[in-house]
A and B are shown apart, each in its own frame.
Chain A
Amino acid sequence: GAVVSQHPSRVICKSGTSVKIECRSLDFQATTMFWYRQFPKQSLMLMATSNEGSKATYEQGVEKDKFLINHASLTLSTLTVTSAHPEDSSFYICSAMQENQPQHFGDGTRLSIL
Protein backbone atom coordinates (compact mmCIF):
# COMPACT_ATOMS: atom_id res chain seq x y z
CA GLY A 1 0.00 0.00 0.00
CA ALA A 2 0.89 3.66 -0.20
CA VAL A 3 3.59 4.68 2.25
CA VAL A 4 4.25 8.15 3.59
CA SER A 5 7.35 8.74 5.68
CA GLN A 6 7.51 11.64 8.12
CA HIS A 7 10.68 12.66 9.89
CA PRO A 8 11.58 13.29 12.65
CA SER A 9 9.04 11.50 14.82
CA ARG A 10 9.85 13.58 17.85
CA VAL A 11 11.58 16.89 18.46
CA ILE A 12 12.36 18.60 21.74
CA CYS A 13 14.01 21.99 21.46
CA LYS A 14 14.41 25.37 23.07
CA SER A 15 12.14 28.32 22.45
CA GLY A 16 13.27 30.39 19.48
CA THR A 17 14.59 27.43 17.50
CA SER A 18 13.36 26.70 13.99
CA VAL A 19 12.33 23.12 13.31
CA LYS A 20 12.02 21.42 9.92
CA ILE A 21 9.75 18.42 9.39
CA GLU A 22 9.96 16.31 6.23
CA CYS A 23 7.20 14.38 4.55
CA ARG A 24 7.95 11.92 1.76
CA SER A 25 5.69 9.73 -0.33
CA LEU A 26 7.83 6.62 -0.81
CA ASP A 27 6.05 4.65 -3.49
CA PHE A 28 3.87 7.12 -5.35
CA GLN A 29 3.97 10.64 -6.73
CA ALA A 30 1.73 12.89 -4.69
CA THR A 31 -0.15 15.59 -6.55
CA THR A 32 -1.06 17.19 -3.24
CA MET A 33 0.30 17.11 0.27
CA PHE A 34 -1.40 18.38 3.39
CA TRP A 35 -0.13 19.48 6.77
CA TYR A 36 -2.27 19.03 9.87
CA ARG A 37 -1.98 19.83 13.52
CA GLN A 38 -3.66 17.70 16.16
CA PHE A 39 -4.27 18.44 19.82
CA PRO A 40 -5.01 15.63 22.30
CA LYS A 41 -8.40 14.03 21.75
CA GLN A 42 -9.23 16.51 19.03
CA SER A 43 -9.69 16.35 15.32
CA LEU A 44 -7.01 16.88 12.73
CA MET A 45 -6.86 20.57 11.96
CA LEU A 46 -5.78 21.36 8.42
CA MET A 47 -3.02 23.95 8.35
CA ALA A 48 -2.15 24.12 4.67
CA THR A 49 -2.42 22.43 1.31
CA SER A 50 0.69 22.05 -0.78
CA ASN A 51 1.07 21.33 -4.49
CA GLU A 52 4.42 20.60 -6.09
CA GLY A 53 6.07 23.66 -7.54
CA SER A 54 3.54 26.17 -6.27
CA LYS A 55 2.94 28.15 -3.12
CA ALA A 56 1.08 26.47 -0.31
CA THR A 57 -2.49 27.48 0.47
CA TYR A 58 -2.90 28.23 4.15
CA GLU A 59 -6.06 27.87 6.17
CA GLN A 60 -7.54 30.86 7.92
CA GLY A 61 -5.68 31.69 11.10
CA VAL A 62 -2.48 29.86 10.15
CA GLU A 63 0.49 32.21 9.86
CA LYS A 64 2.38 31.49 6.66
CA ASP A 65 5.52 33.21 7.92
CA LYS A 66 5.46 31.05 11.01
CA PHE A 67 4.83 27.77 9.24
CA LEU A 68 6.90 27.70 6.07
CA ILE A 69 5.99 25.01 3.58
CA ASN A 70 8.14 23.94 0.67
CA HIS A 71 7.00 21.35 -1.84
CA ALA A 72 10.08 20.81 -3.93
CA SER A 73 9.09 17.63 -5.72
CA LEU A 74 6.20 15.21 -6.20
CA THR A 75 7.53 13.12 -3.32
CA LEU A 76 8.75 15.67 -0.77
CA SER A 77 7.18 18.46 1.25
CA THR A 78 8.71 20.19 4.26
CA LEU A 79 7.17 22.20 7.07
CA THR A 80 9.42 24.58 8.98
CA VAL A 81 8.17 25.98 12.26
CA THR A 82 10.13 29.21 12.56
CA SER A 83 11.18 30.65 15.90
CA ALA A 84 9.09 28.08 17.72
CA HIS A 85 7.52 28.89 21.06
CA PRO A 86 5.86 26.66 23.69
CA GLU A 87 2.42 27.31 22.19
CA ASP A 88 3.62 25.68 18.97
CA SER A 89 4.06 22.39 20.80
CA SER A 90 1.74 19.89 19.18
CA PHE A 91 1.45 16.79 17.02
CA TYR A 92 2.04 17.64 13.36
CA ILE A 93 0.94 15.18 10.68
CA CYS A 94 1.40 15.26 6.94
CA SER A 95 -0.53 13.41 4.29
CA ALA A 96 -0.07 12.84 0.59
CA MET A 97 -2.49 11.95 -2.11
CA GLN A 98 -2.90 11.32 -5.79
CA GLU A 99 -5.88 12.77 -7.61
CA ASN A 100 -9.18 11.08 -6.69
CA GLN A 101 -7.45 8.80 -4.18
CA PRO A 102 -7.63 8.76 -0.37
CA GLN A 103 -5.04 10.61 1.65
CA HIS A 104 -2.20 8.58 3.12
CA PHE A 105 -0.67 9.86 6.32
CA GLY A 106 2.74 9.96 7.86
CA ASP A 107 3.21 8.86 11.44
CA GLY A 108 3.35 12.39 12.77
CA THR A 109 5.93 14.51 14.55
CA ARG A 110 5.59 15.28 18.23
CA LEU A 111 7.03 18.77 18.70
CA SER A 112 7.83 19.94 22.22
CA ILE A 113 9.17 23.45 22.73
CA LEU A 114 10.71 24.14 26.12
Chain B
Amino acid sequence: SQKIEQNSEALNIQEGKTATLTCNYTNYSPAYLQWYRQDPGRGPVFLLLIRENEKEKRKERLKVTFDTTLKQSLFHITASQPADSATYLCAKALAGGFKTIFGAGTRLFVKA
Protein backbone atom coordinates (compact mmCIF):
# COMPACT_ATOMS: atom_id res chain seq x y z
CA SER B 1 0.00 0.00 0.00
CA GLN B 2 1.03 3.61 -0.46
CA LYS B 3 2.82 5.22 2.46
CA ILE B 4 4.21 8.60 3.35
CA GLU B 5 6.74 8.59 6.16
CA GLN B 6 7.77 11.65 8.06
CA ASN B 7 9.90 11.82 11.16
CA SER B 8 7.44 11.52 14.02
CA GLU B 9 9.88 13.03 16.49
CA ALA B 10 9.62 16.74 17.00
CA LEU B 11 12.38 18.88 15.58
CA ASN B 12 13.74 21.55 17.91
CA ILE B 13 15.99 24.23 16.48
CA GLN B 14 17.30 27.63 17.43
CA GLU B 15 15.96 30.76 15.80
CA GLY B 16 17.97 31.74 12.75
CA LYS B 17 19.03 28.19 11.90
CA THR B 18 17.83 26.15 8.95
CA ALA B 19 15.20 23.52 9.64
CA THR B 20 15.23 20.44 7.40
CA LEU B 21 12.29 18.03 7.36
CA THR B 22 12.25 14.72 5.54
CA CYS B 23 9.49 12.96 3.64
CA ASN B 24 9.91 9.44 2.27
CA TYR B 25 7.33 7.67 0.16
CA THR B 26 6.78 4.14 -1.09
CA ASN B 27 5.75 2.64 -4.39
CA TYR B 28 5.64 4.79 -7.48
CA SER B 29 6.87 8.35 -7.66
CA PRO B 30 3.95 10.74 -7.93
CA ALA B 31 3.60 13.44 -10.52
CA TYR B 32 4.04 15.91 -7.68
CA LEU B 33 4.48 16.23 -3.94
CA GLN B 34 2.96 18.88 -1.73
CA TRP B 35 3.91 20.40 1.58
CA TYR B 36 1.42 21.88 4.01
CA ARG B 37 1.64 23.63 7.34
CA GLN B 38 -0.83 22.80 10.10
CA ASP B 39 -1.25 24.72 13.33
CA PRO B 40 -3.00 23.13 16.35
CA GLY B 41 -6.76 22.98 15.89
CA ARG B 42 -6.59 24.37 12.35
CA GLY B 43 -6.77 22.95 8.86
CA PRO B 44 -3.60 22.50 6.79
CA VAL B 45 -2.38 25.43 4.74
CA PHE B 46 -0.80 24.77 1.34
CA LEU B 47 2.83 25.87 1.07
CA LEU B 48 4.58 24.40 -1.95
CA LEU B 49 4.08 21.90 -4.75
CA ILE B 50 7.02 20.30 -6.54
CA ARG B 51 6.66 18.27 -9.71
CA GLU B 52 8.65 15.15 -10.55
CA ASN B 53 10.65 16.97 -13.22
CA GLU B 54 11.65 19.69 -10.77
CA LYS B 55 14.65 19.00 -8.55
CA GLU B 56 14.12 22.03 -6.36
CA LYS B 57 11.56 24.71 -5.72
CA ARG B 58 11.80 27.86 -3.62
CA LYS B 59 9.36 30.29 -2.10
CA GLU B 60 10.75 33.02 0.11
CA ARG B 61 12.51 31.23 3.01
CA LEU B 62 11.19 27.82 1.96
CA LYS B 63 12.94 25.31 -0.27
CA VAL B 64 11.73 21.87 -1.32
CA THR B 65 13.66 19.16 -3.14
CA PHE B 66 12.34 16.04 -4.86
CA ASP B 67 14.56 13.01 -5.46
CA THR B 68 12.69 10.27 -7.34
CA THR B 69 15.65 7.90 -7.02
CA LEU B 70 15.65 8.09 -3.24
CA LYS B 71 11.85 8.50 -3.17
CA GLN B 72 12.35 11.43 -0.90
CA SER B 73 11.50 15.09 -0.52
CA LEU B 74 13.30 17.51 1.78
CA PHE B 75 11.68 20.66 3.11
CA HIS B 76 13.94 23.46 4.32
CA ILE B 77 13.11 26.63 6.21
CA THR B 78 16.03 29.04 6.27
CA ALA B 79 16.50 31.76 8.89
CA SER B 80 13.84 30.07 10.97
CA GLN B 81 11.63 32.10 13.31
CA PRO B 82 9.50 31.12 16.32
CA ALA B 83 6.45 31.83 14.13
CA ASP B 84 7.53 28.91 11.93
CA SER B 85 6.70 26.52 14.78
CA ALA B 86 3.97 24.20 13.49
CA THR B 87 3.42 20.73 12.09
CA TYR B 88 4.49 20.27 8.50
CA LEU B 89 2.75 17.68 6.35
CA CYS B 90 4.01 16.04 3.21
CA ALA B 91 1.45 14.76 0.71
CA LYS B 92 1.59 12.53 -2.34
CA ALA B 93 -0.97 12.45 -5.12
CA LEU B 94 -2.19 8.97 -5.95
CA ALA B 95 -2.48 7.59 -9.45
CA GLY B 96 -5.19 9.46 -11.31
CA GLY B 97 -4.03 12.70 -9.79
CA PHE B 98 -6.54 14.06 -7.39
CA LYS B 99 -6.65 11.81 -4.35
CA THR B 100 -3.84 12.49 -1.95
CA ILE B 101 -2.32 10.69 0.99
CA PHE B 102 -0.70 12.61 3.80
CA GLY B 103 2.12 11.86 6.16
CA ALA B 104 1.52 12.22 9.89
CA GLY B 105 3.63 15.36 9.88
CA THR B 106 6.69 16.55 11.72
CA ARG B 107 6.33 19.05 14.52
CA LEU B 108 8.83 21.88 14.37
CA PHE B 109 9.67 24.04 17.38
CA VAL B 110 11.81 27.11 16.80
CA LYS B 111 13.23 28.59 20.00
CA ALA B 112 13.96 32.27 20.34
Interface residues of A (CB under 8 A from B): 4, 6, 32, 34, 41-44, 46, 49, 91, 93, 95, 97, 99-100, 102-108, 110
Asked whether A105 and B99 contact (CB < 8 A) given A42-B104, A43-B104, A43-B105, the answer is: no
A57 to B99, CA, bound (A): 11
A4 to B99, CA, bound (A): 18
Q: Does B59 sit within 8 A of A, measured CB to CB?
A: no
A44 touches B89 (CB 8 A): yes
Interface residues of B (CB under 8 A from A): 4, 34, 36, 41-46, 49, 89, 97-105
What is the distance, in angstroms, from B38's C-beta to the closest C-beta of chain A?
Answer: 9
Residues of A within 8 A of B102 (CB): 43-44
Residues of B within 8 A of A46 (CB): 99-101
